[in-house]
A and B are shown apart, each in its own frame.
Chain A
Amino acid sequence: MSIVPTPEPNPMVPPMRSSLPPPPPPDEALGPLRLPGPTPPPDESELVDRLRRGDSTAFRDVVTAYQPALLRLAGTFVPSNAVAEEVVQETWIAVIRGIDRFEQRSSLKTWVTRILVNIARTKGVKERRTVPMGSLLSDAADNAAVSPDRFVGPPGKGAWAQPPARWSELPEEVVLSSATISLVIDTVRLLPEQQKWVVMLRDVEDWSSGDVCAALGLTEGNQRVLLHRGRSALRAMLEGQLGRAS
Chain B
Amino acid sequence: MRLLSRQNIVCQQWTELITDYLEGALPRGLVRAIDRHLAACPHCTEYLAQMRRTIAITGHIDGQIKGEPPPAPVPADMMDALQRAFDDFHHSPDA
- A68–B49 alpha-carbon span in the complex (Å): 31
Does B57 reach chain A (CB closer than 8 Å)?
yes
Does A129 reach chain B (CB closer than 8 Å)?
no
B70 to chain A, nearest CB (A): 7
In B70-95, the 8 Å CB interface with A consists of: 70-71, 73-74, 78-79, 81-83, 85-87, 89-91, 95
Contact (Cβ within 8 A) B15 A56: no
- A208–B57 alpha-carbon span in the complex (Å): 18
* A81 contact set on B, CB distance < 8 A: 66
Chain A residues touching B, majority SS: helix
- A68–B46 alpha-carbon span in the complex (Å): 35
Number of residues on chain A facing chain B (CB within 8 A): 62
- A44–B57 alpha-carbon span in the complex (Å): 32
Chain B residues touching A, majority SS: helix
A149 to chain B, nearest CB (A): 11
In A143-192, the 8 Å CB interface with B consists of: 144-146, 148, 151, 153, 156-160, 163-168, 175-176, 180-181, 184-185, 188
* B50 contact set on A, CB distance < 8 A: 164, 167, 235, 238-239
A232 to chain B, nearest CB (A): 7
- A235–B56 alpha-carbon span in the complex (Å): 11
Contact (Cβ within 8 A) A56 B66: no
In B34-62, the 8 Å CB interface with A consists of: 41, 43-44, 46-47, 49-51, 53-55, 57-62
Contact (Cβ within 8 A) B58 A234: yes
Number of residues on chain B facing chain A (CB within 8 A): 48
The interface of chain A, by Cβ under 8 A from chain B, is: 53-54, 56, 59-60, 63-64, 67-68, 71-72, 75-76, 81, 84-85, 89, 92-93, 96-97, 144-146, 148, 151, 153, 156-160, 163-168, 175-176, 180-181, 184-185, 188, 199, 203-206, 209, 220, 224, 227-228, 231-232, 234-235, 238-239, 246
Given known contacts A53-B90, A144-B15, what 20 new A-B pairs fall within 8 Å (CB)? A54-B91, A60-B79, A60-B83, A68-B70, A84-B66, A92-B82, A92-B85, A96-B89, A160-B41, A160-B44, A167-B50, A168-B49, A181-B57, A188-B58, A188-B61, A203-B59, A231-B54, A235-B54, A238-B54, A238-B57
CB-based closest 5 A-B pairs: A54-B90, A228-B19, A163-B43, A68-B71, A203-B58
The interface of chain B, by Cβ under 8 A from chain A, is: 10-13, 15-16, 18-20, 23, 25, 41, 43-44, 46-47, 49-51, 53-55, 57-66, 70-71, 73-74, 78-79, 81-83, 85-87, 89-91, 95
